[in-house]
A and B are shown apart, each in its own frame.
Chain A
Amino acid sequence: MTDFERRSVISGIGQSAIGRRLYRTGLDLTIEAALRAIADAGLTTDDIDGIATYPGSGGIGEAFSGPGTPEVQDALRLKVNWHTGGLEGAAQLAAVINAVMAVGAGLARHVLVYRTVTEASAQGDGGRQGIGAPSGGGSGKAPKMGGSFQWSIPMRAYSAANWLALVANRHFHEFGTTAEQMAMIPINARRNAGLNPQAVYRDPMTLDDYFAARMITTPFRLFDCDAPVDGSTAVVVSVAEHASNVDHPVARVEAVGTALRGRPSWDQFDDGTSMAARDAGAHLWSRTDLTPADVDIAELYDGFSFLTMTWLEALGFCGKGESGPFIEGGRRIALDGELPLNTHGGQLSAGRLHGFGFIHEACLQLRGAAGERQVRSNVEVAAVANGGGPIAGAMLLTREG
């Protein structure tokens, strides 16, 4: 097989400052991350001939979207042969996968890919907002809701927390999954974040701390929900030959999972306990000779703790419905366990960099440069997953060099 994936590597990575309320613009943070990633790839801005982001400009709030590719192209005076952005596709990873396709197709040799959020500053001192909820709580007016949101928001299901909680509770019901098991995702994340100087929440968390936090929507408590931050993550996707020009090991792209076979809807998806991760996970393994047993570390999206559990099942690290027992006690997923999971602290503790924190961490671990949290055993293969619910994307990376 000469699948397009193996024609590219992630040659450089970079992050801006990351924090709860930096009050810097998205463009400022993006430039910082991009220049670091380009330098890390052994390149200059003159070498970048492609640019991609998720989702970029286009009518969604800028705090969520980050700057669009035209702004970044202009700010860095890039001369690109190819550029793209957008909300659709295999979750946040779609931007990276698009870049891999562009390199594989010969449209570009070095693509700058970034994801930028300023959601913490946008939230300010207020609470987290629901979608379409009235301004000022019940005292305000809310616009009438059309499109797909009309099937959830008018039923006071304002947030992905609510929509996913229905999936989680069905999983609990069918498979006997427990809150104590699910708690291992945030507790493991916090344990790893304690070794990550960039993480926003680093104080140790016990099971009692987890249960003492307030309920958001059953079974999700506060620490099952990720933490909004400001920050930008950038990677450079390069032609595979560039690996030998870089002074560190790089991540070769082994396979991607982009499939969507069920109905892309929170309430109409045929499998009400796994959703779209099922399709992206199965697709990933259809594009490689590697198997789940070959994976050394897993960096699996945790916008909500339960999403990581669906990914563990969807990627075949355990059987369908078995993620609860798989993570029970937390030993197996610890840094020295058989499948180190979300080694930087995930979005639950390192902050909601919205998918890209996972790919950044996978690259760091593959090159053995993750500092105190570096997994000690040889990291050759990393699984990365983004999204969950009705959109999902996955990627398998291997060490090169």
Chain B
Amino acid sequence: MSDQPFRVLPALDDTNRFFWTSGEDGQLRFLRCQDCGYYLHPPLPRCPECGGRDLTPDAVSGRGEVYSVTINHQSWDGGTEPYAIVLVTFPEQEGLRLTSNVIGCQSDDVHIGMPVQVAFEQRDDVWFPLFEPAAS
């Protein structure tokens, strides 16, 4: 724990629990419309693409690409080391993005277009979907 930074925990409820606990088996999941195949993020009660109501969390590959990155230097939470905040996109669906962090490398080495792979960090009952560099 000592080398892990402080993190605010998400408040789990029936709409988001699947997402924040998905990493328990090492898989990243998004809510997906079973009628048209659209991934809904953040979760919604109805598919905004086709109106479908048959919505189920489905696993994705966990591989993605850095769409953008910022190296944060401001100490918001007591941490003093700069860290990489990224937007990750996924091959499964154009425009599907997650705000996350890249770990497992120097923050200055994180760049747009970098291939990444999900890497979960567990705190209590939450598995944070973070990302680490992946082979291209």
Q: Does B10 contact A (CB under 8 A)?
A: yes
Contact between A158 and B77, CB atoms less than 8 A apart: yes
Interface-facing stretch out of A143-151, A192-200, A329-337: A143-151
* CB-CB under 8 A for A133 and B8, given A148-B42, A267-B97, A268-B41: yes
Interface string of A143-175 (1 = CB under 8 A from B): 111101011111111110111011111100100
Contacts of A151 in B (CB 8 A): 42, 98-99
Q: Does B69 contact A (CB under 8 A)?
A: yes
Q: Does A137 contact B (CB under 8 A)?
A: yes
Size category of the binding interface on chain A: 35 or more
- Give the docked Cα–Cα distance between A268 and B96 (Å): 7
Contact between A272 and B87, CB atoms less than 8 A apart: yes
Interface-facing stretch out of A65-73, A211-219, A358-366, A369-377: A211-219
Contacts of A128 in B (CB 8 A): 74
Contact between B11 and A156, CB atoms less than 8 A apart: no
Interface string of A185-227 (1 = CB under 8 A from B): 0000000000000000000000000000011111110000000
Contacts of A159 in B (CB 8 A): 74, 76
The listed residue with most A CB atoms (<10 A of its CB), out of B9, B11, B68, B83, is B68
* CB-CB under 8 A for A155 and B87, given A148-B42, A170-B67, A216-B73: no
Contacts of B68 in A (CB 8 A): 166-167, 169-170, 173, 272
Contacts of A154 in B (CB 8 A): 7-10, 126, 128
* CB-CB under 8 A for A150 and B16, given A133-B8, A138-B6: yes
Interface string of A69-102 (1 = CB under 8 A from B): 0000000000000000000000000000000000
Contact between A162 and B70, CB atoms less than 8 A apart: yes
Please name the residue on chain B nearest to A128 by beta carbon: B74
Contact between A133 and B70, CB atoms less than 8 A apart: no
- Give the docked Cα–Cα distance between A154 and B70 (Å): 16
- Give the docked Cα–Cα distance between A170 and B97 (Å): 14
The listed residue with most B CB atoms (<10 A of its CB), out of A152, A154, A163, A167, is A154
Contact between A217 and B128, CB atoms less than 8 A apart: no
Q: Does A142 contact B (CB under 8 A)?
A: yes
Tell me the B residues contacting A by CB distance below 8 Å. 5-13, 16, 41-42, 67-79, 83, 85-87, 95, 97-101, 112, 126, 128, 130
